[in-house]
A and B are shown apart, each in its own frame.
Chain A
Amino acid sequence: MGRTLLDKIWEEHVVHQPVGAPALLYIDLHLVHEVTSPQAFDGLRAAGRRVRRPDLTVATVDHNVPTADRHLPIADQVAAQQIAALRRNCREFGITLFDIDSAYQGIVHVIGPELGLTQPGMTIVCGDSHTSTHGAFGALAFGIGTSEVEHVLATQCLPQRKPRTMAVRVHGELPPGVAAKDLALGIIRAIGTDGATGHVIEYMGPAVRALSMEGRMTLCNMSIEAGARAGMISPDEKTFAYLRGRPFAPQGAAWEAAVRRWSELASDDKASFDRVVDIEARTLAPFVTWGTSPGQVVAVTERVPDPAQAPTETERRAAERALAYMGLAPGMPIEEIPVDRVFIGSCTNARLEDLRAAAAVVRGYRVHPRVRAMVVPGSQQVKRAAEAEQLDQVFRRAGFEWRDPGCSMCLGMNADTLQPGERCASTSNRNFEGRQGRGGRTHLVSPMMAAAAAIAGHFIDVRQWKFK
């Protein structure tokens, strides 16, 4: 019997397997941010416990940091308190913190990989559902709640049942203008927002192999939107090339040994999965969500669907509710939907490659006069690298705002929010009601599609774009 990537990582990390109870799984890397950790540290203190492995724990501030005027004190008192609490907790328990003024600060799922903290074969957790991003490196990475954050802080372990496995095989080649984001949305469209509940998805096939590490991160990032516990891709030469020389990656002889170990991780040919889903890459197009769930998605060339066509009564009601919230009518062509705001950012799509793709569309154009557009790089390192290529100039000249790194309008915990009724083309991962601000209307798209919408003032098929 062949073993899957998940089997291999799992077996390597079982500390103890009691009969009839979940396995006790060892955690190699625990990432921490300001929003889901304060109550966990309080719990430790209340029980007189310490952090077992501060050396395997790394913290940053991202969810509610401001993305402008960073030299000023944080105006939002409650956010300031939460950030202050993380500082105190990291100091007290000896945890490395990449604070707001650090050159390594950024969205937790952007900095883990770029610092080389994220490595193949690891178990990685964070009090954040998009921890699945790190699976792009062939790690088992999943989001946990605050009680589990406390559990890992205290024990460096988590009791876990082994999830089921789902192979998503993507055949062929992604057509031009179709990004990793579209692949992610296409998979969710095919299997549903709860299609992978209880499963870990392993993405495979030529179209997945052809993705850059950035693209693989985008894909794994959105596994959670299909209900998956985690998403993963077995490591290959691209993975190793990305990690080589990163600050926290192994060096010298340790690097060679690590690459040898990592090369063994791929699922065996004979490995079997609980479910297999096949996707033909050539059937994919640039996608735009029209509703308030990531599964409510169509190609940019299609129309807003008619709820009357929904397969069940419950879905019909959900679709009607979504359309009312989104202010859309059935049958409206997606390309005729005007946008007010454009957000290029988030742990899904705010890496250098994403900014390059968006900048290529923007170059030589101006943002539509009605649209307010912003770019929020995923990390300080992404921001500096983009500036070194003068991408900031491309965006600024076109009329985009160029911000400091953080989650920003992905969830609107800081000042970056939509006003009621505003419509946004967003490269983030969730179009839930109110996600980007109460009454705000979010359409999920790729960075290229967001950039094109900013210029045109409405959605437009980027496959037809005239690059300057």
Chain B
Amino acid sequence: MKPPPFAYARAGSLEEALDLLAEGSEDVKALAGGQSLVPALSFRLVRPSHLVDIDGIAGLDEIRESDGRLSIGALARHAALARLERAGSWGALAAAARAIGHDAIRVRGTLGGSLAHADPAAELPVVALALDAELLLASRGGRRTVAAADFFLGPFTTALAPGELLVETTFAAPPAGARTAFCEFATRTGDFALACVCVGVGPGWARIAVGGVGATPVRAPQAEALLAASGADAVEEAAATAGRELEVYGDRTANEGRRRDLVRTLTRRALAEALGSA
């Protein structure tokens, strides 16, 4: 469990990081908090030729709220997200961050790292999808914005092109009075979720995104439609629909039926929490 050889460079600034990423060809990986990449290196599951350490770049961990939009720098730690207000619009983000690992992981792991790593069972990609996050990607050639819905392409696979770095994630302002919630089921405290659900509910607005059940986080459109139309009255039906409508995979730890069962339960619990009836 020692990594294979790689070249390492620590970037002092964003510009330097983008230069290093551009030079490193396709075999380069950005290293932030290292909570996923370092174990993957030790298991020799990934063998990058170059690592660009962005962890020391000043200012890349800022969290700003303006016009109801929440912009979060790539290096913002899970622990910082967990301190966001626990109820209301960003409740789901804080709850998801608190569900990640343990303290030692949360003070190192970053939002940017979690989204770019795109583990199908990770918490934060589900929140990004549910709450219409926009991801700002930078490279030496310029900047572009990608919606979360277009960012996650498959397990550990994203829209990031070679030489690109995720620098900021912006969550759109939910409708006034909207509330969000996040629920997951993990075997032990701090484990990756067997299934997790992020919901948002407001007047005429509904979001249900599910993680841990397929290659990427997915929305549950039929359940959302039921909820948008009927609000609190549709909770049971929306939960049951979410449990039915998605493509769900099964494995040794949870077969397909088990995952559908969990999606239904977690959706109902998350909706109950968001609607204040938990």
A binds B: no
Interface positions of B (Cβ within 8 A of A): none
Interface positions of A (Cβ within 8 A of B): none
